[in-house]
């Protein structure tokens, strides 16, 4: 019997090759174990949903690439759909998308 892990489910979000270090960083940030077997309980958790949302945002900004004779590209509509899916998950989990937060700080060359 083949066991599907959380890593497998997150990689299955898209055929785009998400780097392992990106998956690991998102999972670490959200407190999700990538080697844990996937089941309904952990895939319904807030932590998993936020991981998925973070990866959807990452995919919405991912560059179009070609590797090994295979091309991966997104049209603007797909990028918009990824962002909408991520925002829906953030809203469901009670968290706002970090890319839409207001950033305060010094701008300019003089005070």
- Confidence class of residue 5 from pLDDT cuts 50, 70 and 90? very high
pLDDT of residue 108: 54
- Evaluate whether residue 74 is within a structural domain: yes
Tens digits of residue pLDDT in 55-90? 999 999 999 988 888 899 999 999 999 999 999 999
Q: CA Rg, the chain, in Å?
A: 16
- Evaluate whether residue 11 is within a structural domain: yes
The three-point CA angle 4-42-91 to 5° equals 120
Does residue 99 carry a pLDDT above 60? no
- Evaluate whether residue 105 is within a structural domain: no
pTM listed for this prediction: 0.82
- Evaluate whether residue 44 is within a structural domain: yes
- Quote the domain boundaries for residue 77: 6-98
Q: Write the CA distances from 96 to 49, 75, 93, integer angstroms.
A: 13, 25, 9
The kind and range of the H/E element at 66 are strand 65-67
- Evaluate whether residue 10 is within a structural domain: yes
Provide, rounded to the nearest whole percent, the portion of the chain with pLDDT above 70.
86
- Evaluate whether residue 109 is within a structural domain: no
What total of structural domains would you count in the chain?
Answer: 1
């Amino acid at each position: 019997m083949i066991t599907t892990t959380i890593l497998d489910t997150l990689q299955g979000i898209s055929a785009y090759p998400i780097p392992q270090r990106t998956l690991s960083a998102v999972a670490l940030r959200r407190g999700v174990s990538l080697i844990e077997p996937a089941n309904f309980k952990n895939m319904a958790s807030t932590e998993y949903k936020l991981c998925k949302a973070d990866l959807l945002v990452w995919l919405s900004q991912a560059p179009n690439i070609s590797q090994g004779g295979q091309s991966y590209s997104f049209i603007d509509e797909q990028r918009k759909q990824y962002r909408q899916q991520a925002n829906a998950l953030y809203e469901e989990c009670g968290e706002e998308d970090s890319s839409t937060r207001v950033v305060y700080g010094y701008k300019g060359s003089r005070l």
